[in-house]
Amino acid sequence: MKTLYIVRHGETDWNKMGKYQGITDVPLNENGLNQAKACGNALKDVTFDRILSSDLSRALVTAETIRGDRTTSITVDKRLRELNFGDWEAMLFSDIEARWPGLIDEMYLRPHLVKVPNGESFKDLQDRAWAGLEEFLNVNDEEETLLIACHGGTIRTLLCKLLDISISHCWNFSQGNTAINRIFYNGMGEYDHNILNLLNDTAHVELLQGHV
């Protein structure tokens, strides 16, 4: 069995503004850096054998911050990037709705059917992200604890894949900034069962904000 800690990146200014950032390389803001540090503190007692990260800086800096003083190597893979929002990159919800009436709502209601104009569908995202994660998992068949740092949409599609859930349900999973998800991974065979043991744990962010 492998234990997977799948973590979303910290906050960016575009997150705060509500802009769709997708594959645009938007850095963490000050709050995002503090969230990553708080997440690292929450995971300080976990021994990670290997780390995988999206190549976008908001995810990679989150991974590096969580790693802290550990000497664990980080594998960087662009297949773990967020959904390519195509023409929607850097746009607000209201701007998208004005240019493509109803399409953005359709994406949230039926993510398995919508492809973003000049961008990707959630199936495209799932296929490339799973190819990257599967390759990383299959480096060996040893029992390991792994950290995967990436993006909200990416994580949602990976959870669907790992739990054998239709991608049409990807929005059923909340994913806050630096949310921690833990999965006990046993394989993808017909009789294998992967267990979602922790979902969207953001207690460290709430503590940072003084809400706990």
- Per-residue H/E/C for 1-66: CEEEEEEECCCEHHHHHCECCCCCCCCECHHHHHHHHHHHHHCCCCCCCEEEECCCHHHHHHHHHH
CB proximity list for 66: less than 8 A, separation 6 or greater: 7, 36, 39, 40, 43, 147, 149
By the 10 Å C-beta count (0-12 exposed, 13-18 middle, 19+ buried), 202 is classed as buried
Q: How far apart are CA 28 and CA 166, in angstroms?
A: 31
Whether residue 206 contacts residue 38, with contact meaning beta carbons closer than 8 Å, is answered with no
Catalytic site residue from 11, 82, 120, 204 = 82
Q: Which residue is listed with tokens 């997150």?
A: 15
Specify whether 211 is catalytic. Answer: no
Query: Which residues make beta-bridge pairs with 6?
Result: 148, 181
Which stretches does DSSP call E strand in 47-179?
Answer: 50-53, 74-76, 144-150
Q: Which two tokens stand for residue 57?
A: 């800086």
Specify whether 82 is catalytic. Answer: yes
Residues involved in catalysis: 9, 82
